[in-house]
Structure 1
Amino acid sequence: MNRIEKGSLLVLAIIVAFNIFFGLGSIPLLDPDEPVYAETAREMIQFNDYLSPRIYNEYWFDKPPMYYWLVAGAMHVFGDGEFAARFPAALMAFLTVIMLYCSITRLFNERAGFWSALVLATSVQFFYLGKAAVTDTTLLFFLTGSLLCYLHKQYWLMYVCMALATVTKGPIGIVFPGAIIFLHILCTGQWQRLFKMHCLRGLLLYFFFAAPWYYLMYQVHGMEFINTFLGFHNITRFTTPEHPTRVLWWYYFPVIILGLFPWTGLLLQSIKASIT
């Protein structure tokens, strides 16, 4: 197993900590998303109800509670403000970079681990999302964790990460990594891994961590929760564009190109190397 260099890890930690945490609470929360996440966490504290998210005194079935819980915890520690609202996203971004460094170092080598983590930490899109009070970096941490656990054959932890991703964003917490893992097995022909992954017992472990909040919400709110959260905010919004006039097949190409700046050239170079 390749050895993690403490010096490289320290340098990386300093760079990403400065990049993400510096000035974190220096500007007001930006519309439309940041104030919503912060206000929902405030109302969890106000009503002392950490089960049912609320917004402006009304039940809010838009997202699962993971990020609201993290922001509420940060508000208890740091007080109610912009820093507390953004701190969980920044912390998850920081931990994702460190996790990526450690994982890639062990899979390949220390040089690959350091530069992979550094590219992620200094990309424009990651920098922006790591400093925003939104769910993206929390979801990224758990989804990345589940896929890295798969590569390291840490299957029990993989299911736990999928479950926590599901409590962060919904069913995509298992659908996305599950689809990626299936495609990897399909393309590589490693069907024997399905037996080593303990799929049935793994799903039981997944539901042990993922299902309680959903079950309790159904017990309290009944079919209104199912129809609004699963029906509208997951199935309908996943299959039907929210703004049909803005649906463009090429939308994500400029997003990826600009989001990877200043490392966009590495992406193009990697694509070229993979097909030659």
Structure 2
Amino acid sequence: MKSLKIAVPLLLLFACYYLIPVEFRYLWQPDETRYAEISREMLASGNWVVPHFLDLRYFEKPVAGYWINNLGQWLFADSNFAVRFGALFSTILTALLVYWLTWRMQRERQTALVAAVIYLSCLEVYGIGTYAVLDPMITLWLIAAMCSFWLAAQATSVRAKAAGYLLLGLVCGMGFMTKGFLALAVPVLAVLPWVIQQRRWRELLLFGPLAIVGAVVISLPWALAIARQEPDFWHYFFWVEHIQRFAQADAQHKAPFWYYLPVLLAGSLPWLGLLPGALWRGWRQRLQDNGSLYLLGWVLMPLLFFSVAKGKLLTYILPCFAPLAILMAVYVCQAREGTARALRANGWINLLFGVVCLLAVLLILAPWSLTGHPVYGVHELTRVLLAAGIFLFWALMGGLSLYATPRRWPLAVLCPLGLALLVGQAIPQRVENAKQPQAFITAVRNELASSRYILADSPGVAAALAWEMKRSDINLFEESGELAYGLRYPDARSRLIDAAAFPGWLAQQRHSGSVALVLLLDRDDEGGPASLPEADVVYRQGRFMLYHYNQQP
């Protein structure tokens, strides 16, 4: 009965965070629309070896992440929930692994449960775990790798150790097929401090080859298959997607070395107050409790690795939040000194965070903005009130956790609940009409459906058009973006239409059908390009603009 009383609220909480809201939020471009369309095309074509995007070769990522996304679309059709199912599925499995590893280390089920809850409610985990990208999937495999290594290291028989290392290789191989060679490098870096302190070099060298065998066994069939179908895949994927992105001066998403520090702090909300004490306790216990050093190395080494890399995205350090959740759970459940102060500090942080964000909404983002640069329009009072309510609720939960703190500190888990349930309805229209194309596409669906040719000036918008209209023959207008490599192939060059050549191309193609051109305008652009031929229908919604040209005889 006691277990049921705990399980039912947790399931309801999980549903409110991860299951109910995601269907009612529009997809974001370019990320979510891209991954939705790649998986749709894979299912439609039956080619589960080579990823294609708008029927173009797309070599930026391997294939296993799309397989998981395919499962969502196969089960739930073409809903927004289906698109995000891969991220949700991976995140809940990762939370179960966090529970399992905490229990293996501490042999305390309450601590394990708290670790899983902290993990699922961290802002970084929740934000990425309900967003259709591949990072929750690679996180799943990386955390599975760390669990496998711990299982092997704690085994007392040769057979059990061998099985653990083989399992380690299998999950690393799946990680490699999800996002590349980082899945092989990051676990090695993460365990190094523990291996050195425990003097486990001999064991690692003896059983490590089994992990290599496991990784090869699971990934080699696909690696050979894609090399046979697309011989230049590995050249592009290794040199461009790994060496250039992470090491060269012109790497994508460049950011300073300290970039991940504020990401780590903000991503730890609503548990930020526990972070300093948890890290300090882990450091003090590193010699007495070898699990503490294992977890600290798991946090620090990937963090340093990604900080040194030239290219940075906030999603890269998602795997660091699993050991942080365990460290915080152990601290709050088992520490004696300083815990009460940390719990009160956590309540104050949540209270102040909610109040500051509430004031930012009402004084800066609202139509009556004191800065003179509002984000919400004068007609969006309901959205302003919803956004204010999100952070008022956050502050309220933080404030309530300050009273009778030893009993009420778990209320912090409710702080992001308003955000989870209402954020889709609180997003300003100017953001929606620039980053979420689905509403615009719905408004012009008749014109799009009647068009023989559809063009878009960005891959993200093109992906949204392809996903919504269930057709992958969307052409690119002027900008190739991430599809530049795929467009270099001789059979794909006609898919990119230059602006200067567009009038001539249009005059020719209108004889065989109508043409729709969708543009994503710049923020300060009052209208579309003046050089475009006059259209029969022009429609604008925010920064999205449609030019529709009827068929001519």
TM over 0.5: yes
CA drift of 1:12 comes to 4.3
- Number of residue pairs matched? 269
2:263 to 255, 261, 271: 255
Aligned twin of 1:218: 227
Aligned twin of 2:135: 136
CA drift of 1:147 comes to 0.3
CA drift of 1:17 comes to 4.0
1:21 to 19, 22, 25: 19
Instruction: After superposition, give the CA deviation of every residue in 1:169-188 in whole Å (9 maximum; x if it has no partner).
Output: 11111111122223321132
1:207 correspondence with 2:216: yes
Instruction: After superposition, give the CA deviation of every residue in 1:115-150 in whole Å (9 maximum; x if it has no partner).
Output: 211111111111111111111111111110110111
Instruction: After superposition, give the CA deviation of every residue in 1:173-220 in whole Å (9 maximum; x if it has no partner).
Output: 111112222332113222343256x22233112101022222211111
User: Whose strand fraction is larger, Structure 1's or Structure 2's?
Assistant: 2
The amino acid of 2:44's aligned partner reads Q
The amino acid of 2:23's aligned partner reads G
- Give the structure, 1 or 2, with the largest relative contact order (CA under 8 Å, sep 6 or more): 1
Contact 2:49-2:222 at 8 Å conserved across structures: yes
The amino acid of 1:64's aligned partner reads P
Shift in alpha-carbon separation, 1:266–1:254, aligned structure 2, 3 A: same
The amino acid of 1:225's aligned partner reads F
Contact 2:166-2:213 at 8 Å conserved across structures: no
Aligned twin of 2:112: 113
Aligned twin of 2:278: 270
Shift in alpha-carbon separation, 1:183–1:76, aligned structure 2, 3 A: same
Give the 5 Å matches for 1:181-192.
Answer: 181-192=191-202
Gaps of 5+ in 2: 153-163, 285-553
1:166 to 158, 171, 176: 176
Quick check: which has more Rg, 1 or 2?
A: 2
Distance 2:116 2:242 in 1: 31
Distance 1:69 1:275 in 2: 40
Contact 2:145-2:171 at 8 Å conserved across structures: yes
Gaps of 5+ in 1: none
Task: Provide TM-score, normalisation by structure 2.
Answer: 0.46
Stretch moving more, 181-190 or 257-266: 181-190
Aligned twin of 2:363: none
Secondary structure at the aligned position of 1:61 is classed as coil
Secondary structure at the aligned position of 2:113 is classed as helix
Aligned twin of 2:68: 70
Shift in alpha-carbon separation, 1:239–1:119, aligned structure 2, 3 A: same
CA drift of 1:80 comes to 1.3
User: Whose helix fraction is larger, Structure 1's or Structure 2's?
Assistant: 1
Shift in alpha-carbon separation, 1:183–1:274, aligned structure 2, 3 A: closer
Aligned twin of 2:313: none
The amino acid of 2:46's aligned partner reads N
CA drift of 1:237 comes to 0.8
Aligned twin of 2:50: 52
Stretch moving more, 186-195 or 30-39: 186-195
Q: Percent identity?
A: 23
Distance 2:215 2:282 in 1: 35
Aligned twin of 1:125: 124
Task: Provide TM-score, normalisation by structure 1.
Answer: 0.90
Contact 2:244-2:251 at 8 Å conserved across structures: no
The amino acid of 1:58's aligned partner reads L
Contact 1:16-1:94 at 8 Å conserved across structures: no
Shift in alpha-carbon separation, 1:262–1:85, aligned structure 2, 3 A: same
